[in-house]
Amino acid sequence: MPTTPSPWQPALDRLLAIRLPVDPGEADLPDDVAYEVWDAVRDLIEARGSSDIAELVADAAATGALTNQEAALYLNIAAWCGTDDAAALQRTLNGWVRTADDRTRLAVALLHQMHMSPAPGEVVPRQHLTEIAHRYPELRELCAYHLAARPAD
């Protein structure tokens, strides 16, 4: 029996079809591309019915349809486009860091600009970031960045 495509799949396909002319971690996007990305992210949020599009975007990164940097950029935009001040998205990202069992999701969460500014009581302990840095050497630099930017626990 054929499966029915998810109602958000066309919006995700539109987002995945956008080719970024620069590495989103290295330079600002040209205005025309930035507007296209913002529109596509807003469309995906609307089609999904939630500003927490993290799982959809991370799945795309895990399959190679996006880089981790692109996924983080799209989630940065989603944080500004949503209606809940990114609360649901923040919970998902914190969960990824707390479990630290998926390299892609962990990298995307650590690359996300707002990740390390959670609500009080949701802060990931410094020791946990240190453990992540030891467990995933490719994420050491990101963990060091977040550790340096945070006050002591």
Residue 1 covered by a domain: no
Confidence of residue 56 (pLDDT cuts 50, 70, 90): very high
Q: What is the pLDDT of residue 5?
A: 78
Residue 2 covered by a domain: no
Domain that holds residue 89: 9-149
* CA distance linking residue 74 with residue 2, whole number of Å: 30
In the chain, the percentage of residues whose pLDDT exceeds 70 is: 90
Residue 42 covered by a domain: yes
Rounded to the nearest integer, the mean pLDDT of the chain is 87
Amino acid at 122: E
* Number of domains into which the chain is organized: 1
The pTM of this model reads 0.87
Residue 73 covered by a domain: yes
SS3 content of the chain, % helix, strand, coil (to 5): 60, 0, 40
Which of 71-80, 102-111, 133-142, 144-153 has the lowest average pLDDT? 144-153
* CA distance linking residue 111 with residue 113, whole number of Å: 6
**Number of CB atoms found within 10 A of residue 69's CB:** 17
Confidence of residue 93 (pLDDT cuts 50, 70, 90): very high
Residue 3 covered by a domain: no
